[in-house]
């Protein structure tokens, strides 16, 4: 299911009806697309893929368009000449639905889109389920966020709509996370929030309430969209800030979802975003970034789990000797690689595995020893952003890389597909001590994010 249609109706490209013939995996994302778009291969550098070049190549056209606009404030353009590269200035004015969270990132995204000449309408998604935790705080956690969003919109003269998606959020993200935790896995609710809520349930909302009103849905994510306007095909590309890059969290989107998305911050670093907010005197310029799991707010993870799964005492056992070292309140409170919160002396102790049927948590002091290599895993439930991409294309792909969590760390890897093609084995060039079932592996070729797969379990430990 590709979700509802929210963009204005447009003519489909003729070649869309033809399935592209894939060449060798090593050239799939350069030669094929070059042949289709007319781009020439200029480099074989890891970081200079054709999609990235397309983004970079737009700079001249965007700068020319920006230079013609007298209403854009010169200070921002002079200090950050790439500030509007993620705003599709050459297509302005577009009607853009802007997801506004009340934080500095989405506020700057709205500011840039407004300056680029787009017709913006802001939307605040109310997804907090404060009814379950009303005793944990005096004020509702979303009230501050909404107040900042309202102040930002008032300053820019942009209309703000509040969209209640609490039920959808609970059903599509929270309940799924609870099920994963109960099964002993480590969920990634932020990834599900993007694909199912921000670019899922919200798409459905505006398709129903604002049919054919918007050309794009923009957010404050650190990512880039490489867009082929002739074919309407898009690719997800790494942002300028390797540390804050959020393509990992967006890797569960499909082609249709991404084709409607816009990420204005893709060419800026976090420090530059802060500087733009300061220069524009945005109300959010001094707000701290949010931390932790997206739906918990001020609630601690252990409190959330205890509320929904309760407690179930079990043994903490040393892996090497089978000695019982202590007790835990339930295996679902612990994750692989965990060191803090075990209540054990003479450590440090690390969680190395969990036995779900017996409710046993195994720990070891030798978590980093050579005989406990953590460099391979099984994955499944593939999601490829390119609708014509196939898991088989990863096999033998040169320069294939993956992330196993959000952040700058990326591993060179190789991929082996199972005979029935529903699972794969990933072999990292280095150990990663935090691999956990339930998390996602996100695959990259050069700077392009190919898609994701859920980590199902370990291969070599």
Please list the active-site residues. Answer: 193, 294
Strands (E), 392-459: 400-403, 411-417, 423-428, 440-445, 448-458
- Per residue in 369-380, is it b (16+ CB within 10 Å) or e — as a string? eeebebbbbbbe
The percent helix, strand, coil of the chain (3-state, each to 5) is: 35, 20, 45
Q: Which helix (H) or strand (E) holds 233?
A: strand 233-237
C-beta separation of 181 from 332 below 8 A? yes
Pairing of strands 411-417, 324-328: unpaired
Kindly tell me the burial class for residue 181, based on how many C-beta atoms sit within 10 Å of its own C-beta (0-12, 13-18, 19 or more).
Answer: buried
First to last CA, the chain: 36
| Listed residue (75, 92, 80, 82) closest to 58, CA to CA | 82
- Torsion, Cα 113 116 118 122, to 10 degrees, reads 20
CA atoms within 13 A on the CB side of 459: 16
Locate tokens 């209640």: which residue?
164
In angstroms, rounded to a whole number, what is the distance separating the alpha carbons of residues 13 and 314? 59
Tokens of 278: 């300061």
CA dihedral 259, 260, 261, 264 (to 10 degrees): 100
d(CA 450, CA 183): 28
Instruction: Give the contacts of 377 (CB within 8 A, at least 6 positions apart).
Output: 425, 426, 435, 441, 455, 456, 457, 458, 459
- Each as own residue / partner, the long-range contacts of residues 42-45 (CB below 8 Å, 24 or more positions apart, any chain) are 45/446
Q: Please name the residue that has the structure tokens 């919200």.
A: 202
In terms of Cβ atoms closer than 10 Å to its own Cβ (0-12, 13-18, 19+), residue 270 is: middle
Distance CA 327, CA 343 (A): 9
Cα–chain center distance at 117: 27
């Amino acid at each position: 299911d590709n979700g509802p249609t929210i963009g204005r109706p447009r003519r489909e490209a003729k070649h869309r009806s033809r399935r592209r013939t894939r060449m060798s995996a090593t050239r799939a994302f350069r030669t094929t697309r070059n042949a289709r778009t007319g781009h020439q291969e200029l480099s074989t550098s890891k970081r200079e893929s054709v999609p990235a070049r397309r983004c970079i190549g737009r700079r001249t056209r965007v700068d020319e368009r920006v230079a013609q606009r007298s209403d854009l404030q010169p200070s921002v353009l002079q200090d950050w000449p790439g500030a509007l590269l993620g705003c599709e200035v050459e297509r302005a004015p577009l009607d853009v639905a802007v997801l506004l969270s009340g934080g500095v990132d989405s506020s700057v995204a709205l500011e840039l889109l407004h300056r680029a000449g787009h017709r913006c309408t802001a939307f605040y998604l109310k997804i907090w389920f404060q009814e379950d935790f009303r005793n944990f705080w005096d004020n509702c956690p979303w009230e501050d966020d909404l107040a900042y969003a309202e102040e930002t919109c008032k300053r820019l003269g942009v209309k703000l709509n509040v969209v209640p998606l609490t039920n959808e959020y609970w059903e599509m993200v929270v309940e799924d996370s609870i099920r994963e935790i109960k099964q002993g896995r480590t969920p990634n609710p932020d990834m599900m929030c993007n694909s199912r809520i921000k670019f899922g349930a919200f798409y459905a909302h505006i398709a129903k309430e604002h049919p054919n009103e918007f050309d794009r849905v923009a957010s404050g994510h650190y990512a880039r969209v490489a867009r082929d306007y002739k074919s309407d095909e898009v690719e997800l590309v790494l942002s300028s800030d390797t540390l804050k890059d959020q393509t990992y969290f967006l890797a569960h989107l499909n082609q249709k979802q991404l084709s409607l998305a816009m990420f204005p911050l893709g060419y800026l670093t976090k420090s530059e975003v802060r500087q733009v907010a300061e220069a524009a005197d945005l109300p959010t310029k001094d707000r701290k970034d949010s931390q932790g799991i997206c739906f918990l707010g001020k609630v601690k993870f252990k409190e959330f789990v205890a509320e929904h799964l309760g407690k179930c005492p079990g043994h903490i056992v040393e892996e090497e000797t089978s000695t019982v070292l202590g007790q835990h309140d339930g295996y679902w409170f612990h994750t692989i690689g965990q060191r803090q919160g075990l209540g054990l002396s003479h450590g440090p102790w690390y969680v190395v595995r969990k036995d779900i049927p017996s409710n046993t948590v195994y720990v070891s002091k030798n978590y980093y020893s050579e005989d406990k290599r953590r460099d391979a895993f099984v994955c499944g439930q593939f999601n490829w952003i390119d609708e014509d991409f196939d898991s088989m294309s990863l096999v033998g792909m040169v320069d294939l890389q993956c992330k196993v969590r959000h952040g700058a760390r990326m591993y060179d890897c190789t991929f082996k597909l199972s005979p029935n093609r529903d699972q794969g084995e990933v072999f990292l060039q280095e150990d990663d001590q935090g691999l956990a079932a339930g998390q996602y592996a996100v695959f990259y070729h050069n700077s392009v994010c190919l898609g994701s797969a859920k980590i199902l379990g370990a291969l070599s430990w």
